[in-house]
Structure formats: structure tokens, C-alpha cells
Amino acid sequence: MRQTCNSDGGVGSTENVQARGITLLSIFVDTPTAEPNPETKLLADFKTDTHLRKVYLAGREYLNKEGQTSVSPLIGKIMQQICTDPTLCPEYPSSFGLPEFTRRATELVLGRDCHAIVENRVLGVQTVGCTGAVRLGAELLKHWYNVSGVWCGPVYLSSPCDDSLAGIFEAAGIQDVRRYRYWDTEQRGVGVQKMMEDLEMAPEQSVIVLSASAHCPTGSDLSQKHWRLLTQLMVRCRFFPFFLLPAQGLCHGDFQQDAWPVRLCASLGMELLCAQSFSHSFGLYGERVGHLLCVLKQSSTLLAVQSQAEKQVRALWSRPSVRGARVVATVLSNPAHHVEWQEGVKSMVERGILVRERLREKLRLLGCPGSWDHLIQQGGLYCCTGLNVQQVEFLEKRRHIYLHPNGCLNPQFCLAAPPGSLQRRHTPKLAVWLCLSTHRIIRVSCLRSPLPSL
């Protein structure tokens, strides 16, 4: 126990105890300070940096033309409608969330005519963002992957991946989390061969976490040809795919294409989980609109799995919050809104491509060593520059430009900012010049150096 007692066995309030000259220890005295998560630390370092021209390029959001997060007028209008709608009542939603939302979220990924939907072997659960979806999926796997005993992994994550992923599986009680090689510094893209090698070595029934499109944090994805090879391997080795789809539509500007790997697995009759987010595609980050999709092999298992999912949700957050999901459901259920929204997503993609092209062009004009084609081959929110740890550190310490330690950044944060706004938004020219200086000064550990293993 952390508290000492006084002579009559009671522990008094701080004042009483101090008056009696007794030391009182907190029951929390042995709780250590948690290591800050890398993203929080990076942002904190940026905020305390007093340099006038500091740049933050590691943001997690999509930005509009003005360099700010925003929602489209359509979304704004729908939020207003919802606010004044007298038929909407503030009741507890089910633990699965809004049925209209889960239905549309499921159709968006799989396509309305997907056999799995028609055969009633798909479960959809509204979750608290993509993190909530991954957590719920992890809990389901932990409890039910091996009914005869507790299953603890292994789960395979790409190297690199979102830095919170491993922690989510661990929090669900899955300790055996491993990596497969993904980003290849030499090729400035996905090292498919190494990836396949690593997965060939994985034990049967491993869970493989895969990015369906717009890989975080590299922006590099597999080609369809490579997806086919990978699914063959997964079927052969009896792996269980757990897809991440945080930005459907924002990779290619095409919702079907961005979900293609998930549809491929479903069409092959595989069971899978897919964690979705609508944060980016709707600009609704704060509302935490996520979805966990579960495709089963047999419809006879649906009710049981559904009941167990409900049980997990009940003890995590009981039910999700509805506001954001209601907006998304309203858009996806209305053909005219749906089209307008898709057009909006396409223009976000076009803007993203433009920024990448400008960045690459600037680098080329400045004669920056190496090839920068990978910037435009990548898609979605993130971009992996290929800079190594020393180069990233140089940028941070000497140029006050903040990237993820693995060399990944969000190119949109290079956009021009309106006067008087946060310092985090700067012109591509500045960012590029500073990238260039990195290559000129650190010649030895230049572009071809491998990234340190994660």
C-alpha cells in the first residue's frame, strides 16, 4: 500500500497528516510517466520551436485550397438540417450504431451486389473512428480466433505502419505482433519480393494487416497483379486478412478501385475484417466516424459473431456517437448527395496529385539528386520521401521542418497559408529548398542508405 497509517490506524487528509508530521504517499506514486507517442512528441517539439519559419509536415488531415481543414457546403447543409430535424430523437443507438450507416458503409466497400452481402454473411459495426474499428476487430480475434483456447497472435503489420497499430493489438491482449517488410528504400516503393518472403515464413493462421489503398504512412500500394499473388499466398497459408481502409476514394479518386483488394478477397470466398474511416473523405475528424466490416464464410455464424461483437462494444464504449454517422448515412443514401460528395472527393484527389507533381517538379528543377517519381506514384494522404533518419533529423534540428522520423510527410501541409494563420503551412518552394539542402550537405548518407529497421 502506498499510504502510511498514523498510530490509530486511520489515514487523515493531507493537512491533518502533515500536521502530525507523517509522510503520505500517493497510491499512484509508482505510476511512471508514459512515453509520449511519436506523433504527439513531434507536434509538441514543433510547438515549442520558436523559429519563425518552422514547418510542420506530419499532419493527419486533408487540407483545402486555403490550407485548412473544412467540410464541404453539402456537409454543412446536412448538419444544419439534422440540427433542426424534429423527428430525430436523442435515443441510445444500438451498439452496432445506425443501421443505415452500417448498411451504406458496407456497400461502399464491397459493392451492393457482393455475394457476401446477398448471402447475408456480412457484419457491419459502427465504431469510434478507425482506431475503434481496429480495436474491436482485435478484440474479436483475441476472443474468438481460436475457440478452444486464447489466441494471442501472431499479427503481422507492415514496416512501416501507423505507429499506434501495434499498441492497439497489444491493448486487446495480443502480444505477438510482428512486422513484414513493406517499404523498400532502394526501390522507393513497395518491396514486394521481400514482403512475400516474410509472409511465406509466417505461421499458418497468422493475421495479416494490409492497407487496401493509400498506405499509411508511405502512400505506396501494391499493384493489382501483386494483390493477386498475395491473396494466393494468403489462401494457401490460411492467413486471415485484416484490411485498413481509412480513406476510400482518396487514393485514386475511384471508390471501387480503392477497395479493390477487399473485393478481391471477398470474391475468393475469404473471411476478412476491414477497418474503415470516414474522417478524411467527409472532413469529419472530430466526429469519429468509423466502421468495422466482417465478412464471414458462412451465414450460419453471423448471429453468433454479431452477438459477441455487441458484447465487446458494450464493455468498450457501449454505443457509438451518432452525429457524424448520421451525416455520412444521409449523404450515402441520397443519390444526388452521393454524386456531389464523390465529385468533391475527386477534386481533393486532383488537388493532392497537383501538390505532389509540383513538389516533384521543383525538386527536378533544383537538380535534387535521385529520382522523385515515387512522389507521384504514391497516393492518398501520405508520401514517403525516402529520406533517412539522419536527413529527417537534419531537417528538424537545422531547418525546423518536421517530418515523421521515417521520412514520411503529408504534402498538403506545404500549401500556402492565409496571412496570420498557423506557421505550419508554407510554400512548396521553401520545403523543397530545404529538402535539397539536406542532400547537398549530407553526401555520405545520401539517398541510397537503407532506413534503420523499425
Partner 1 sequence: MSIFAEVPQAPPVAVFKLTADFREDTHAQKVNLGVGAYRTDDCLPWVLPVVKKVEQMIVEDNSLNHEYLPILGLPELRSAASKVALGDDSPAIKDGRVGAVQALGGTGALRIGAEFLRRWYNGTNNTATPVYVSAPTWENHNAVFSDAGFKDIRPYHYWDGEKKGLDVTGIMDDLENAPEHSIFVLHACAHNPTGTDPTPDEWKMISEVMKRRKLFVFFDSAYQGFASGSLDKDAWAIRYFVSEGFELLCAQSFSKNFGLYNERVGNLTVVAQDKDNLARVLSQMEKIVRTTWSNPPSQGARIVAITLNNPDLFIEWKGNVKTMADRVLLMRDQLKAKLIALGTPGTWDHITQQIGMFSFTGLNPKQVQYMIKEKHVYLMASGRINMCGLTSKNIDYVAESIHETVSKVQ
Q: What minimum distance in Å lies between the beta carbon of 424 and partner 1? A: 12
Question: 412 CB contacts (<8 Å, ≥6 apart)?
Answer: 59, 62, 63, 67, 351, 352, 355, 381
Question: Taking a C-beta distance cutoff of 8 angstroms, is the pair 130, 277 a contact?
Answer: yes
Q: Is 260 exposed, middle or buried (0-12, 13-18, 19+ CB in 10 A)?
A: middle
Does 7 help bind partner 1 (rule: CB under 8 A)?
A: no
- Cis before 405? omega within 30: no
Alpha-carbon distance of 20 to 6, in angstroms, equals 8
Nearest to 430 by CA among 405, 395, 404, 397: 395
- Binding partner 1 by CB under 8 A: which of 7, 50, 91, 443? 91
**Please, which of residues 142-171 interact with partner 1 by CB under 8 A?**
144-145, 147-148, 164, 167-168, 170-171
Does 37 help bind partner 1 (rule: CB under 8 A)?
A: yes
Question: 172 CB contacts (<8 Å, ≥6 apart)?
Answer: 135, 138, 139, 141, 142
Alpha-carbon distance of 103 to 259, in angstroms, equals 16
Does 27 help bind partner 1 (rule: CB under 8 A)?
A: yes
Question: 243 CB contacts (<8 Å, ≥6 apart)?
Answer: 209, 210, 211, 212, 261, 262, 265, 272, 273, 274, 275
Comparison of 145 and 433: residue with beta carbon closer to partner 1: 145
Sign of CA dihedral 426, 432, 433, 435: positive
Q: What minimum distance in Å lies between the beta carbon of 380 and partner 1? A: 18
**Please, which of residues 343-402 interact with partner 1 by CB under 8 A?**
none
Core vs surface per residue 223-246: b (16+ CB within 10 A) or e: eeebbeebbebbeebebbbbbbbb
Query: Which of these ranges, 49-57, 292-300, 329-337, 398-406, lies near partner 1 under the rule CB under 8 A?
Result: 292-300
Question: Taking a C-beta distance cutoff of 8 angstroms, is the pair 246, 161 a contact?
Answer: no
Does 267 help bind partner 1 (rule: CB under 8 A)?
A: no
Number of residues that bind partner 1 (CB under 8 A): 91
In 37-138, at which residue ranges do the beta strands (DSSP E only) sit? 55-56, 122-128
Does 29 help bind partner 1 (rule: CB under 8 A)?
A: yes
In 99-256, at which residue ranges do the beta strands (DSSP E only) sit? 122-128, 155-159, 177-181, 183-184, 189-190, 207-211, 240-245
Does 87 help bind partner 1 (rule: CB under 8 A)?
A: no
Does 92 help bind partner 1 (rule: CB under 8 A)?
A: yes
Comparison of 172 and 195: residue with beta carbon closer to partner 1: 172
- Binding partner 1 by CB under 8 A: which of 212, 296, 331, 432? 296
- Binding partner 1 by CB under 8 A: which of 34, 52, 336, 444? 34
Q: What minimum distance in Å lies between the beta carbon of 397 and partner 1? A: 25
Does 30 help bind partner 1 (rule: CB under 8 A)?
A: yes
Nearest to 71 by CA among 259, 323, 275: 323
- Binding partner 1 by CB under 8 A: which of 48, 84, 87, 453? 84
Does 417 help bind partner 1 (rule: CB under 8 A)?
A: no
Q: What minimum distance in Å lies between the beta carbon of 111 and partner 1? A: 22
Question: Taking a C-beta distance cutoff of 8 angstroms, is the pair 220, 378 a contact?
Answer: yes
- Binding partner 1 by CB under 8 A: which of 175, 224, 232, 318? 318
Q: What minimum distance in Å lies between the beta carbon of 301 and partner 1? A: 5
Does 305 help bind partner 1 (rule: CB under 8 A)?
A: yes
Residue type (1 letter), 332 = L
In 186-322, at which residue ranges do the beta strands (DSSP E only) sit? 189-190, 207-211, 240-245, 272-277, 289-295
Q: What minimum distance in Å lies between the beta carbon of 288 and partner 1? A: 5
Comparison of 203 and 286: residue with beta carbon closer to partner 1: 286
Does 193 help bind partner 1 (rule: CB under 8 A)?
A: no
Q: What minimum distance in Å lies between the beta carbon of 17 and partner 1? A: 8
Does 284 help bind partner 1 (rule: CB under 8 A)?
A: yes
Does 288 help bind partner 1 (rule: CB under 8 A)?
A: yes
C-alpha cell at 21: 508530521
Q: What minimum distance in Å lies between the beta carbon of 282 and partner 1? A: 9
**Please, which of residues 202-241 interact with partner 1 by CB under 8 A?**
205, 240
- In degrees, to the nearest 5, what angle opens at C-alpha 406 toward C-alphas 401 and 408? 60
Comparison of 158 and 312: residue with beta carbon closer to partner 1: 312
- Binding partner 1 by CB under 8 A: which of 100, 176, 254, 310? 310
- Binding partner 1 by CB under 8 A: which of 83, 336, 420, 444? 83
Alpha-carbon distance of 256 to 272, in angstroms, equals 18
Does 312 help bind partner 1 (rule: CB under 8 A)?
A: yes
29-33 contacts at long range (C-beta below 8 A, 24 or more positions apart) = 29/2, 30/2
Does 324 help bind partner 1 (rule: CB under 8 A)?
A: yes
**Please, which of residues 39-78 interact with partner 1 by CB under 8 A?**
40, 60-61, 68-71
